């Protein structure tokens, strides 16, 4: 177990915000995690936070307590049948390394989730998704340690209560459980999900019809690289807002004014891409102080260099105010403000 005091978080958040925490603990085993949690219980007045790779966080100030980070690694088969393989993966594994491993070992399903930054534990908490797939579809169960007791609790898929970018661990269970391992159910048969517009468009452009898993992974990687800024060059946390879902009535009112507005029918209403709303408000490629809106995907806010979390919040507030004024829609951050 590694313990650091008064520690800079600069390399633990992809936004590149130079905030500090009082204590930073990185553990490699479940036993070390239990020890760390026991230590936290002795300091009940101090806040604590568990982070992954910090690819969905915005530090708006220094953190006055302990930050925990998992270095639990490893992947191993946890069962198999004729069609599927269960793969048990440590929460501290890098998500995209896992996707690459699966493609190399003919374990299929998660190719569309290639290059999503972050670690496996956080992927299961956030229900990461891209190009028509969400990770929950492949999650068999999630192994956790309960913060209050140090006891193990395994959540079956249905107990994780997954929704669009949401889960029990992000909602009601927030701060109560630490994910140690995720068990994924992968297929031995490659049955790609190719219906997402941007994938179709790129396949048409390349004259590609039946991609292999490796080709599909490469395609997704190329699309992401073309649209999304590389956090090592320009700090960002991917999509800054969730895509809003509006009522049918609201949708009809908006589409009368904006017949070209992209939209997706959902069970509870109509989803409108937040990136489109932001672009319509003239924010795409614009900057505010040391922050800006990415010029190729308006849903991504970037650190132009040396920004603080408060600078990013100021940009977020300005965008939200404009979208509210022009469309009567309240955008909600997808990124967690700390």
SS3 track for 290-336: CEEECCCCCCEEEECCCCCHHHHHHHHHHHHHHHHHHHCCCCCECCE
Number of residues counted as binding ligand EPU (CB under 6 A):
18
Contact at 8 Å (CB) between 244 and 330?
Answer: yes
Provide the residue count of the chain: 338
Q: Which is nearer to ligand EPU, 24 or 162 (CB)?
A: 162
Residue sitting closest to ligand EPU (CB): 238
Phi, psi of 42 (to 5 degrees): -75, -10
Helix (H, G, I), strand (E, B) or coil at 13: coil
Active site residue 165: yes
Helix (H, G, I), strand (E, B) or coil at 239: strand
Active site residue 172: no
Active site residue 334: yes
238 touches ligand EPU by CB under 6 A: yes
72 touches ligand EPU by CB under 6 A: no
One of 111, 119, 134, 334 is an active-site residue; which one? 334
Q: What is the dihedral of CA 180, 181, 182, 185, to 10 degrees?
A: -170
Kind and range of the H or E run holding 180: strand 177-187
15 touches ligand EPU by CB under 6 A: no
One of 114, 167, 239, 316 is an active-site residue; which one? 239
One of 20, 165, 310, 324 is an active-site residue; which one? 165
Q: Binding residue for ligand EPU (CB under 6 A) from 78, 100, 115, 198? A: 198
Residues 258-277, mask of contacts with ligand EPU (x by CB under 6 A): ----x----------x-xx-
Residues 288-327, mask of contacts with ligand EPU (x by CB under 6 A): ---------xxx----------------------------
Joined tokens for residue 71: 């270095």
Q: Which is nearer to ligand EPU, 187 or 280 (CB)?
A: 280
Residues in 81-140 that interact with ligand EPU by CB under 6 A: 130-131
- Taking the complex as a whole, the smallest distance from the CB of residue 294 to ligand EPU amounts, in Å, to 8
Angle at 274 between CA 259 and CA 130, to 5 degrees: 110
245 touches ligand EPU by CB under 6 A: no
Contact at 8 Å (CB) between 131 and 198?
Answer: yes
Find residue 28's DSSP bridge partners.
Answer: none
Joined tokens for residue 322: 């404009």
- List contacts with ligand EPU (CB under 6 A): 130-131, 197-198, 238-239, 242-243, 262, 273, 275-276, 279, 284, 297-299, 334
Known catalytic residues are 165, 239, 334
């Amino acid at each position: 177990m590694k313990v650091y005091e008064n520690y800079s978080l600069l390399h633990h958040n992809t936004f590149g915000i130079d905030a500090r925490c009082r204590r930073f603990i990185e553990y490699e085993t479940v036993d070390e995690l239990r020890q760390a949690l026991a230590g936290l219980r002795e300091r009940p007045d101090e806040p604590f936070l568990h982070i992954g790779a910090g690819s969905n966080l915005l530090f708006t100030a220094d953190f006055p307590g302990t930050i925990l980070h998992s270095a639990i690694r490893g992947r191993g088969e946890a069962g198999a049948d004729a069609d599927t393989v269960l793969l048990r993966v440590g929460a501290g594994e890098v998500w995209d390394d896992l996707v690459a491993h699966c493609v190399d070992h003919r374990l299929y399903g998660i190719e569309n989730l290639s290059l999503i930054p972050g670690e496996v534990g956080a992927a299961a908490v956030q229900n990461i998704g891209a190009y028509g797939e969400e990770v929950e579809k492949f999650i068999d169960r999630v192994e956790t340690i309960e913060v209050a007791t140090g006891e193990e609790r395994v959540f079956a898929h249905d107990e994780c209560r997954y929704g669009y970018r949401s889960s029990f661990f992000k909602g009601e269970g927030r701060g109560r459980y630490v994910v140690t391992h995720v068990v994924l159910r992968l297929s031995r048969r490659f049955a790609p999900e190719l219906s997402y517009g941007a994938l179709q468009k790129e396949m048409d452009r390349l004259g590609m019809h039946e991609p292999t898993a490796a080709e599909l992974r490469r395609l997704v990687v190329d699309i992401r690289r073309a649209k999304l800024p590389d956090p090592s060059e320009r700090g960002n946390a991917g999509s800054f807002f969730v895509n809003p879902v509006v009522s049918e009535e609201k949708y009809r009112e908006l589409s009368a004014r904006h017949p070209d507005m992209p939209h997706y029918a959902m069970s509870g209403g109509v989803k409108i891409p937040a990136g489109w709303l932001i672009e319509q408000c003239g924010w795409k490629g614009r900057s505010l102080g040391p922050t800006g809106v990415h010029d190729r995907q308006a849903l991504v806010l970037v650190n132009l260099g040396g920004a603080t979390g408060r600078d990013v919040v100021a940009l977020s507030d300005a965008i939200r105010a404009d979208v509210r004024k022009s469309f009567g829609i309240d955008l909600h951050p997808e990124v967690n403000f700390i």
